[in-house]
Amino acid sequence: MRTRSLTKLAALGFAGTLALSACGSSGSSGGGLNNDGGSGGGGDATYTIAFEGPLSGDYQQLGINEVNGVQLAIDQANAKGDLGFKLKLMKADDGGDPAKAPAAAAQVLQDKTVVGVIGPSFSGATKAVGNIYGDAGMTVITPSASNPSLSTLGFKTFHRIVPNDNVEGSQAAVWLAKKAKKVYVINDLSDYGDGVANAVQEGLKKAGVKIIKQGVAGGGATKDYGTAAAAVKNSGAAAMFYAGYDADAAQLATALKAAGYKGIRIGGNGIKSSVFTDSSKKAGDGWYMSCGCLDATVAPAAKQFTADYKAAFNTDPSTYSPEAFDAANALIEAIKAAKAGGGVTLASVNEAVNALNYTGITATIKFQEDGEIVPENQVVNLFQQKGGAITLLGNILEQK
Amino acid sequence: MNDFLNYLLLGLTRGSMYAVIALGYTLVYGVLQLINFAHSEVFMSGAFASYLAVTRFVKEGDRPAWYIVVALILMGLLVGAAVGAAVAWTLERVAYRPLRRRGAPKLAFLISAIGASFFLSQLAGKMFNRLTSNTFPEYFNRDKAVISVGGVNLTLIQAIVIGSAVVMMIFLDRLVSGTKLGRAIRGVAEDAPTAALMGIDIDKTISRTFMIGGALGGAAGFLFGTQLVFGNTMGFIPGVKAFAAAVLGGIGNIRGAMLGGLLLGVVESLVPTFPWWHESGWVGQQWTDVVAFVILVMVLLFRPSGILGERLGRAA
Q: What is the pLDDT of residue A160?
A: 93
State the smallest CA–CA distance between residue A261 and chain B in angstroms.
Answer: 12
Question: C-alpha distances in angstroms, A155 versus A41, A123, A127, A131, A134?
Answer: 34, 13, 9, 5, 6
The pLDDT of residue A22 is 41
**Would the CB atoms of A214 and B284 count as touching at under 8 Å?**
yes
Q: What is the ipTM of this complex?
A: 0.85
Query: Does position B194 have pLDDT exceeding 70, yes or no?
Result: yes
Q: From A337, A396, A394, A399, select the one nearest A365 (Cα to Cα).
A: A337
Contact A232 B278 (CB under 8 A): yes
Q: Strands A364-365 and A358-359, how do they pair?
A: antiparallel
Return d(Cα A367, Cα B15) in angstroms, integer: 54
* Distance from C-alpha of A109 to C-alpha of A107, rounded to nearest angstrom: 6
Residues on chain B touching A232 (C-beta within 8 angstroms): 278
Percent pLDDT > 90 in chain B is 61
Query: Does the beta-carbon distance from B133 to A214 stay under 8 Å?
Result: no
User: What type of residue is A256?
Assistant: L
Q: Given this model, what pLDDT does residue A296 score?
A: 74
What pLDDT was estimated at residue B277?
A: 66
Residues of B in contact with A282 (CB under 8 A): 138
Quick: pLDDT tens for B249-294. Answer: 988 888 999 999 999 999 988 887 777 666 656 777 888 888 888 8
CA distance A400 to A60: 36
Phi and psi dihedrals of A142, rounded to 5? -95, 135
Q: Which of B11, B312, B53 is nearest to B188 (CA)?
A: B312
Give the nearest partner residue to A250 out of B114, B133, B285, using CB atoms.
B133
pLDDT grade for B296, boundaries at 50, 70 and 90: confident
Given a cut of 50, the residues of chain A with pLDDT beneath it are 1-7, 9-42
Q: Cβ(A91)–Cβ(A32) under 8 Å?
A: yes
Beta-bridge partner residues of B260: none
Chain A contact set for B15 (CB, 8 A): none
CB-CB neighbors (< 8 A) of A182 in chain B: none
Q: Chain A contacts of B115, Cβ < 8 Å?
A: 13, 16-17
- A13 interaction partners in chain B (CB closer than 8 Å): 111-112, 114-115
Q: What pLDDT, in 10s, does the model give residues B199-242? A: 999 999 999 999 999 999 999 999 999 999 898 989 998 999 99
Q: How far is B120 from chain A (nearest CA, A)?
A: 10
When CB atoms are compared, the residue of A227, A247, A257 closest to B10 is A227
Per-residue pLDDT at A20: 44
Whether A5 and B131 lie within 8 Å, measured CB to CB: no
Q: Which of B119, B132, B230, B290 to mutate to test the interface with A (most CBs of A within 10 A)?
A: B132
Residues in chain A: 400
**What are the tens digits of pLDDT across the range A297-321?**
777 778 899 999 999 999 888 888 9
For position B265, what pLDDT does the model report? 93
> To the nearest whole angstrom, how far is the Cα of A237 from the nearest Cα of chain B?
10
How far apart are alpha carbons B184 and B167 in whole angstroms?
22
Q: Give the model's pLDDT for residue A222.
A: 83
Contact A251 B289 (CB under 8 A): no
Starting at the edge strand found earlier in the chain, the sheet holding A85-93 runs A85-93, A45-53, A114-118, A139-142, A158-160
Contact A279 B133 (CB under 8 A): yes
**Which of A224, A234, A251 has the CB atom closest to B3's CB atom?**
A234
Model pLDDT, residue A295? 76
Q: How far is B227 from chain A (nearest CA, A)?
A: 9
Query: What is the rounded radius of gyration, in angstroms, for the C-alpha atoms of chain B?
Result: 19
Query: Shortest CB distance from B228 goes to which of A20, A212, A224?
Result: A224
In this complex, do B285 and A227 lie within 8 Å of one another by their Cβ atoms? Answer: yes
What is residue A60's predicted lDDT score, i.e. its pLDDT?
81
Residue B260's nearest CA partner among B22, B13, B24, B25 is B22
CA distance A29 to B117: 23
Region class of B151: left (phi > 0), else alpha (psi between -120 and 50), else beta: left
Adjacent-strand bridge partners of A288: A266, A384
Whether A227 sits inside 8 A of B125 (CB atoms) is no
DSSP string, A246-307: HHHHHHHHHHHHHHT--SEEEE-GGG-SHHHHHHHGGGGTT-EEEESS--TTT-GGGHHHHH
Give me the helices (H) in chain B, please.
2-32, 39-54, 66-91, 97-101, 106-127, 156-178, 180-190, 192-197, 202-227, 236-249, 254-270, 288-302
- pLDDT tens track for B101-157: 998 998 899 999 999 999 999 999 889 987 778 889 989 988 888 888 888 889 999
- The answer to whether the Cα torsion of A260, B242, B50, A24 is positive or negative is positive
Look at residue A363 in the predicted model and tell me its pLDDT.
Answer: 83
Which chain A residues touch B288 with a CB distance below 8 Å? 217, 222, 227
Backbone φ and ψ of B14, nearest 5°: -65, -40
